[in-house]
Amino acid sequence: MTNSTFPSELPEVTGPTFRPGDDGFDAEIAGFQTAYRHRPDLVVGAAHAGDVRAAVEFAARHDLPIAVQATGHGLSVPADGGVLISTRRMTAVRVDTRTRTAWVGAGVRAEALIAAAVAHGLAPLNGSSPSVGVVGYHLGGGLGILARTFGYAADRVRALDLVTADGRLRRLTAGDELFGAALGSVGNFGIVTAMELELVPVTEVFGGSLTFGTALVEPVLEAWRQWTAEVPEEMTSAITMMTMPDVAPIPEPLRGRYLATVAIAFTGPEAEGQRLVEPLREVGPRLADNLRTMPYSETDGIYSDPPFPHAYTATNALLSDLTADAAAAFLDVTGPDAPMPAVAGFRHLGGALRRPGPAAIAMDHRTAEYNARIITMPAADTDPRAYHDLVAKTLAPWTIGHNLNFLYGAGDWAGEAQTRAGYAPSTYARLRALKSAYDPANLFRFNRNIRP
């Protein structure tokens, strides 16, 4: 649809609206992902749930597809036309210490929720990056820094306010069919305007990271692989292998070098944590070793995710096991001789992630013991698709599915096959039937899409 034929009557929204060419349009569609952007015909900068409802009603009336963006971290299928609902203004957070819960608006980032929770001696089940949107993260399951202790964050969602394709705002709780369907399907059933989440009574964590130089990358991966087979559920960790960018602010001794970093968060006592990490330290001297007991408010530095917007594509595989052969094959295709530079690594799963929560949410493959992930930087002259396919093929013998939260890119990384592989066949069939009932025109299609 060209801009001139775009419907002109706009709903009574209190937040700003933007058309291509308007002042503020580019700033409103900009997000953490800089390689791909939504290109809508209209952006509604929702100020509250009423604006979201009005925007959905307007789009449905004109049969326009709907996209939603909070921070732009998780763009998987960019909108090409239609209406983009921007939730960044919906930033209310309310903590209830009596029920140990938080209500968060659709635009709240992890850092704001962490700050609100720690003020009451509580913590959310956030992921590695403080700038990720809380709602988007939970809608994809939410694999947190304490995941092995507390399970998927989405299992601890108590309630959702969801605007469905018919323009209704519904409050959903465990037992409602759309509640379970929305959690894990990343936006397929409507726009979440707010969420009620359980918080956990964690005030301190023993954690940080251990960084090893090039010669120790292979031995530390092997040590981590064996170590993770033994550690208790209170220990959650990940290993990342990459050639560090040769630029400031990377510290001089690390710049331009191929390194391995183990990120750790342990919810038990420090003495026990120190004892547990001995086999990793025994691998050899560390270029950096900052493990310590830290207040929960400082855990956002454990993973050192880049805080600035940039270009990236990513794919991942949930593995039944990490055998020595699987680890070696992965290092072969992602190491310094790889066809293109990659940030590659594994997150340790299992523990509480194996146990479903009280509601039947759309999170499957819970027997996975590891998540393997690669992130590449797309550039004008390189197309990472063939390389991602090569990595997927290498891991195929151990792969049982994908985590949908870690699929980003221009649509090719979140096609039907990948989305389907995120679920058990019975879950996918249930989601598809619900999608046909609640969103038959597939208005909510700019996501890891489940076609009606």
Ligand X SMILES: Cc1cc2nc3c(=O)[nH]c(=O)nc-3n(C[C@H](O)[C@H](O)[C@H](O)COP(=O)(O)OP(=O)(O)OC[C@H]3O[C@@H](n4cnc5c(N)ncnc54)[C@H](O)[C@@H]3O)c2cc1C
What is the contact surface with ligand X in residues (CB under 6 A)? 31-32, 68-75, 87, 106, 127-129, 132-133, 135-137, 139-143, 186-187, 191-192, 305, 405, 447
Of 216 and 409, which CB lies nearer to ligand X in the complex structure? 409
Of 160 and 216, which CB lies nearer to ligand X in the complex structure? 160
Of 90 and 210, which CB lies nearer to ligand X in the complex structure? 90
d(CA 226, CA 346): 13
Task: Name residue, tokens 């009557």.
Answer: 9
Query: Least CB distance from residue 66 to ligand X, whole Å?
Result: 10
Answer for the pair 110, 131: CB distance below 8 angstroms, yes or no.
yes
Query: Least CB distance from residue 78 to ligand X, whole Å?
Result: 9
Of 118 and 132, which CB lies nearer to ligand X in the complex structure? 132
- DSSP structural state of residue 202: -
d(CA 45, CA 280): 48
List, in sequence order, the alpha helices (H) in 122-216.
134-139, 147-150, 177-182
Answer for the pair 178, 434: CB distance below 8 angstroms, yes or no.
yes
Query: Least CB distance from residue 356 to ligand X, whole Å?
Result: 17
d(CA 111, CA 209): 20
- DSSP structural state of residue 45: E
Answer for the pair 173, 179: CB distance below 8 angstroms, yes or no.
yes
Of 244 and 329, which CB lies nearer to ligand X in the complex structure? 244
Answer for the pair 304, 244: CB distance below 8 angstroms, yes or no.
no
d(CA 27, CA 360): 38
Query: Least CB distance from residue 405 to ligand X, whole Å?
Result: 4
Amino acid found at 117: A
Pairing relationship of beta strands 42-45 and 83-86 according to DSSP bridges: parallel
Give helix 324-334 / helix 217-228 axis angle, nearest 10°.
140
| Long-range contact pairs involving 249-253 (C-beta distance under 8 Å, separation at least 24) | 251/288, 253/287
Query: Least CB distance from residue 212 to ligand X, whole Å?
Result: 22
d(CA 110, CA 199): 13
Answer for the pair 422, 448: CB distance below 8 angstroms, yes or no.
yes
Query: Least CB distance from residue 392 to ligand X, whole Å?
Result: 19
Query: Least CB distance from residue 76 to ligand X, whole Å?
Result: 6
Query: Least CB distance from residue 14 to ligand X, whole Å?
Result: 18
Of 40 and 72, which CB lies nearer to ligand X in the complex structure? 72
Answer for the pair 189, 442: CB distance below 8 angstroms, yes or no.
no
Q: What is the token pair recorded at 63? A: 């049969």
Of 106 and 235, which CB lies nearer to ligand X in the complex structure? 106
Number of alpha carbons in the 13 Å side-chain half-sphere of residue 357: 23
Of 228 and 236, which CB lies nearer to ligand X in the complex structure? 236
Of 292 and 310, which CB lies nearer to ligand X in the complex structure? 310
Query: Least CB distance from residue 332 to ligand X, whole Å?
Result: 26
Of 307 and 440, which CB lies nearer to ligand X in the complex structure? 307
Query: Least CB distance from residue 139 to ligand X, whole Å?
Result: 5
Answer for the pair 300, 307: CB distance below 8 angstroms, yes or no.
no
